[in-house]
Structure 1
Amino acid sequence: MDQSGLLPRRSAHHLLMQITTEGRLMAELIAGGALAQLAPDDRARAQRLATDALRGLDRADRMLKPYLKKPPGDHVMNALRLGLIELMQGEAAYGVVNAYVEIVARNKRSQTMKGLVNAVLRRIADEGPEAWAKRPVPLTPGWLRQPLVAAWGRDAVAGMESAHFAGAPLDLTTKGDPAALAAALGGVVLPNGTLRLAQAGQVSGLAGYDAGDWWVQDAAAAIPVKLLGDVTGLRVLDLCAAPGGKTLQLAAGGADVTAVDLSEKRMTRLTENLARTGLAAQTLVSDAFAVTAGGYDAVLLDAPCSATGTIRRHPDLPYAKDGSEFGALIAQQEALIDHALTLLRPGGRLVYCTCSLLPDEGEVQIEEALARHPGLRVLPPAMAGLDPAWITEEAGLRLRPDYWPDQGGMDGFYIAVLTKPA
């Protein structure tokens, strides 16, 4: 590891700049090599710093505001945010302050602000981590918070924000008995059968990884396949399948699965996971609309969406996005539902799901699909561990981050099982 800590801090600052000013997502940046020049320990540190800063960004800004007469510009502000986060985590003030002063000094446009950064961070350090702990839970940016409050109410959104700030544990779906693996890994089995680890460490180093005994999958993301019940021998089409957790579930359940995704890179990852777990599925790199051969017993459509239900894991999303692309996504979801229905045999089932907290991508889509397709029905959801309070008026399933608060929450999802007229 770089002993001065400057390299990972500069990289964390670069990530924050790209996310907050260029609208880039962290996963996209890392896949593009943003941290490739770092040693493994520094790479992990840079990503963790940027993630922690994004989770606490609203709280950090509120804490910094009394020390700033006017906004200092994005380059300086992001340095202050990162420095504050480190100080509030108990890092030594000397190293933190010097590092972020150096980062600001290296930029020609901001170098005159290094004195401000030095003064503000030293005063913040005097407040200590106790001051941070007393601050309210960070709020979601207004562009997203307003529609969420309109949909679910302030109390529910406050619960979601607490879940977002806390982050997410590691959830695993197992091929065999999750209880046996829980004992080996020190985890707990959730009501839906997901294995949850509060402290995981390096995923590939966990027991059962090389043997392919499990795969990473949030508890909420594991529910859509479970709603199909016994899939043994069924022909199932998994549309928009990558990275493949649901494909693996279907294959493990004995289904004859065809997985389709437009991304060749993401499909490669799915194929690697199939090989690691010893499971089999047909894979096809293709646009979903190009698939025309039908007759499937079931179609699983995890449609492209806003991903607003995954902020626990991806705190960059509300800062990289502004909602401007949601209209196009909603139109695409509608078209995908209509197309997926053409691929079902009579009496077949369509599982529609999105990792979204917005009703327009969930409840409203199903209400409108029922209006467009006479005879289409929603099957009441049934599975172990299902809370009846999650069932919506149209018989879909609404999952939210504030559910299971004492167990670590879950991602936000909407799921509905539709059946085509026989």
Structure 2
Amino acid sequence: MPRRIAYDVLCQVLGKKRPMDEAFNSHPHLDKLTPKAKSFSRALLTTTMRHKGFIDHLINECLEKRPKGAARDILNVMRLGVAQLYFMHVPAHAVLSEAQILTGRVDFMQYKKLVNAVLRRIDREQAEKEFAPAFIAEKNIPIWLIESWKNAYGEEAAQAIALAHLKEPPLDITPKYNDEAAIWAKRLNGEILPNGSIRLPIGGRIEELDGYGNGSWWVQDAAATHPVTLLGDVKGKTVLDLCAAPGGKTMQLAALGANVTAVDKSTNRLKKLEENLARTHLKADILTKDLMEWEPDCEFDAILLDAPCTATGTLRRHPDGLWTKKSDDIRAMADIQGTLWHRASRWVKTGGTIVYCTCSLQPEEGELMVKAFLKGHANFEQIGDVYRNLPGAGGDGFFAVAVKRTS
């Protein structure tokens, strides 16, 4: 069952470009799995997605012709098998046996011998061939994407980003009160990072960790905490948090004493924000609004615009995005970001600050967006330097900049 669920989700992601988390969490048979089986199914799926490019390279070496049409889904059976052999170190006999069972269950009986032959060959050659991590890493990034990073950051930096994607990202948390960071780092066996975040050992259920239930901290990547700091002292100020769900930055602002209005158009995502606020005993006014149509009835002291983006800075956490996004998406998202930033520019008081941020590595959604905004808005000026973080030890890929309304 766990392998069948992983197969079904893989077909949804690669065939219909459906987000992996959405497809996995809504699978009709997910509740039938034990916690251990559910964890294995998700790990198998994530591992396959993270290494899909390299896995496909190995499979292609074994095939004279790739299956076409509906038969292409048999490749997903092979991908799951290779992920277990190569990266999860499941015994070969178990992988081969389960692959045969799965092939029958998904009505590809005629491909049983092919699946068996491919997996046996890859298992055999695994001991004979050794691939450099850099080779594996670059195979896992679509050509258009790795080339865009090379153009933006140079060959060495692009390779470092690709290598970072080979590993599961760290788990960072933000303590509700800054002066309690040392307490929670000790209790949770974590490391305090320079920005005050706490990095925890990977593994275990987050909900079962000490301090989660009473809202002493929340999960938030270290890089994602930076945009709020660009707003300066927000205590007592009115702050509009746009595209706010699931609420990490909303909680940051509320904990610092801001009077927060959090806006998002997704009802489901706002439910998560409400749950987070209730758990942490923090307050914010929550509005379900489409920012392309909504107009506030007052101006705010500050605005945080966490704009929708291609999220290429968080592909370590959501590797399905490597295979569901395309280069055309960058321009489409940049158009939306420019429109939202222009609309938000009318909602901040004179002398007030807007922080624009995205979890994208693409300059079109970061540095170039700033230039375009300032060129079209003479009544704003940039405050300080832009914040650009690349994936790696310091957290996810992130971009942020602060601008001030001068008139």
TM-score, normalising length from structure 2? 0.93
For the structure 1 residues 38 and 165, does the alpha-carbon distance in structure 2 shift closer, same or farther, using more than 3 Å as the test? farther
The size of the alignment, in residue pairs, is 396
Q: What SS class does the counterpart of residue 224 from structure 2 fall into?
A: coil
Contact 1:178 1:194 in 2 (8 A): yes
Q: What SS class does the counterpart of residue 30 from structure 2 fall into?
A: coil
What is the alpha-carbon distance in structure 2 between the residues aligned to residue 129 and residue 300 of structure 1?
52
The corresponding residue for 1:77 is: 75
The corresponding residue for 1:178 is: 181
Contact 1:309 1:400 in 2 (8 A): yes
Deviations 1:154-203 (A, max 9, x none): 21111011111112111101112212111110110111111111324100
What is the alpha-carbon distance in structure 2 between the residues aligned to residue 102 and residue 31 of structure 1?
24
Deviations 1:78-122 (A, max 9, x none): 1111111111222121221111122223344x3211101112212
Contact 2:239 2:302 in 1 (8 A): yes
Contact 1:8 1:38 in 2 (8 A): no
Q: What SS class does the counterpart of residue 137 from structure 1 fall into?
A: helix
For the structure 1 residues 94 and 312, does the alpha-carbon distance in structure 2 shift closer, same or farther, using more than 3 Å as the test? same
Q: Does 369-378 or 65-74 show the bigger shift? A: 65-74
Q: What SS class does the counterpart of residue 165 from structure 1 fall into?
A: coil
For the structure 1 residues 104 and 200, does the alpha-carbon distance in structure 2 shift closer, same or farther, using more than 3 Å as the test? closer
Q: What SS class does the counterpart of residue 136 from structure 2 fall into?
A: coil
Tell me the CA shift for residue 134 of structure 1.
4.8
Contact 1:11 1:35 in 2 (8 A): yes
The corresponding residue for 1:150 is: 151
Corresponding residue to 2:285 among 282, 286, 297: 282
Tell me the CA shift for residue 132 of structure 1.
6.3
Tell me the CA shift for residue 131 of structure 1.
4.8
Corresponding residue to 2:386 among 392, 396, 405: 396
What is the alpha-carbon distance in structure 1 between the residues aligned to residue 283 and residue 128 of structure 2?
52
Q: What SS class does the counterpart of residue 18 from structure 1 fall into?
A: helix
The corresponding residue for 2:396 is: 411
Q: Is 1:112 matched with 2:110? A: yes
For the structure 1 residues 49 and 35, does the alpha-carbon distance in structure 2 shift closer, same or farther, using more than 3 Å as the test? farther
Q: What SS class does the counterpart of residue 32 from structure 2 fall into?
A: coil
The corresponding residue for 2:22 is: 28
Contact 1:214 1:277 in 2 (8 A): yes
Q: Is 1:42 matched with 2:66? A: no
Q: What SS class does the counterpart of residue 199 from structure 2 fall into?
A: strand
Q: Does 307-316 or 286-295 show the bigger shift? A: 286-295
Identity %: 40
The corresponding residue for 2:52 is: 57
Tell me the CA shift for residue 61 of structure 1.
2.0
The corresponding residue for 1:378 is: 382
Q: What SS class does the counterpart of residue 223 from structure 1 fall into?
A: helix
The corresponding residue for 1:16 is: 10
In structure 2, the gaps of 5 or more residues are none
Q: What amino acid is aligned across from residue 416 of structure 1 in structure 2? A: V
Deviations 1:16-62 (A, max 9, x none): 11111211111221343355343232222111101001111122222
In structure 1, the gaps of 5 or more residues are 1-6, 381-394
Deviations 1:341-392 (A, max 9, x none): 1110110000000110111111111101111111311111xxxxxxxxxxxx
Contact 1:224 1:353 in 2 (8 A): yes
The corresponding residue for 1:87 is: 85
Q: What SS class does the counterpart of residue 223 from structure 2 fall into?
A: coil
Q: Is 1:316 matched with 2:311? A: no
